[in-house]
Amino acid sequence: MKTELDRESCHPAFNKDLLVQMDYLTKMMGASPLMDNVFHKAAHLNIDHYYIGAGCIAQTVWNHCSGFSSTNGINDIDFVYFDSDLSYDKECEVINHVNQSLGDLPIRIDIKNQARVHLWYEQHFGYPIRPYASLEDAINTWPTTASAIGLRKDANGQWNVYAPYGLNDLFGLIVRANKVQITKEIYEKKVHRWQTNWPALNIIPWES
């Protein structure tokens, strides 16, 4: 039986070594009924290399630290993978496959092949980007240091965590721009919504 983590457990993880932080993080995912279900189902998809990542991970931690409902403010679950087949039809096959297993969740699953993001990014955001070389290369560009993170759990319960900027900002409720790819406008639009849902966040201005 899982033990519910106390909301104050975020604070001991701040400024601790990475192994301690990873342990706290994976326990928080297991303490959220939504995320526990996501990771359990994803582990049986027979997709070799993927991550559940970005906002849903950071926001689960923020909710836990703030004493909010585990699903507060979470609009979607980002499921990312990397396939050198850049055809839209192949991506649709994967989308359908993932939705067959995870489509009954109460929150939408956003499934994207990171190898083809550059094909549509300019139309959506207004400027072009280079093709990503790998799944991890894509995560390196995600908008904030706290949300540039990917997790997965295999069928044996073993976790993989990719966090190129570490976990300290995440546990410190610090929102800091990752300026590798995003613009000031994109960053400020995100933090405006996040501050509304999580008032305790420490927002670092773009100019800092």
> Tens of pLDDT along 34-60?
999 999 999 999 998 999 999 999 999
Comparing CA positions, the residue from 49, 46, 118 lying closest to residue 80 is 49
Residue 1: band (very low, low, confident or very high) from pLDDT cuts 50, 70, 90: very low
> Tens of pLDDT along 175-206?
999 999 999 999 999 999 999 999 999 999 99
Residue 161: band (very low, low, confident or very high) from pLDDT cuts 50, 70, 90: very high
CB 152 within 8 A of CB 43: yes
Least confident window among 9-18, 122-131, 186-195: 9-18
Helix axes 55-66, 33-42, angle to 10 degrees: 150
> Tens of pLDDT along 84-120?
999 999 999 999 999 999 878 889 999 999 999 999 9
Answer yes or no: is pLDDT of 144 > 90: yes
- Where do the domains of the chain lie? 7-203
72's enclosing H/E stretch is: none
For residue 144, the cross-strand partners are 177
C-alpha distances in angstroms, 100 versus 41, 45, 95? 10, 10, 9
